[in-house]
Structure 1
Amino acid sequence: MAVVKAPQSGKVVLKVQTGINATGSPVFKLRTYANVKSEAADSDIFAVAEGLGSLQQHTLVDIIRQDINNLINQ
């Protein structure tokens, strides 16, 4: 029996720094964009995420891709 991964969809998360707290540590917020096609190329997702990041009021710190898959026992 083999377990097969079946891609479903995904999301892109933009991590932005919104300020600094009282102790001097940075404060981050996450901006999530869902329903990203699983077959989308990483470079394309990165380019779109950078474009969205440039529209943010706060500084873009990180771009995260999260893929959602079903595991099927065959």
Structure 2
Amino acid sequence: MAVNNVATGTVLRMQFQTGVDANGDPVYRSKNLYNVKPQATDQDLFDVANALAQLQNYTLAAIMRIDSARLEEVVG
């Protein structure tokens, strides 16, 4: 039985450091952009995240790409 991986969507997650807690450990918050084309390149997502980070009040700590896919059985 063969299975195909069919891309269904991509999320661009930007993680910002919003401060520190009582112990001095960093506190993070995330912003997600949904409905990103799965065909978007990693470089394009990186560039967009950095451009959007310039509009934020907090420091950009991480950029993540989250891909999802549907698995389909190949028939025939």
Same-fold call, TM cutoff 0.5 = yes
Give structure 1 regions of 4+ aligned residues with deviation exceeding 4 angstroms.
none
**TM-score, with length taken from structure 2:** 0.93
Cα deviation for residue 24 of structure 1 reads 0.7
Cα distance in 2 for residues equivalent to 1:3 and 1:54: 42
Query: Cα RMSD over matched residues?
Result: 0.7
Unaligned runs of 5+ in 2: none
Aligned positions of 1:1-74 closer than 5 A:
1-74=1-74
Identity rate of aligned residues, in percent? 38
- Deviation per CA, 1:32-66: give whole Å up to 9, x if none: 01000001111111100110111110000000000
Number of residue-to-residue matches in the alignment: 74
Unaligned runs of 5+ in 1: none
**TM-score, with length taken from structure 1:** 0.96
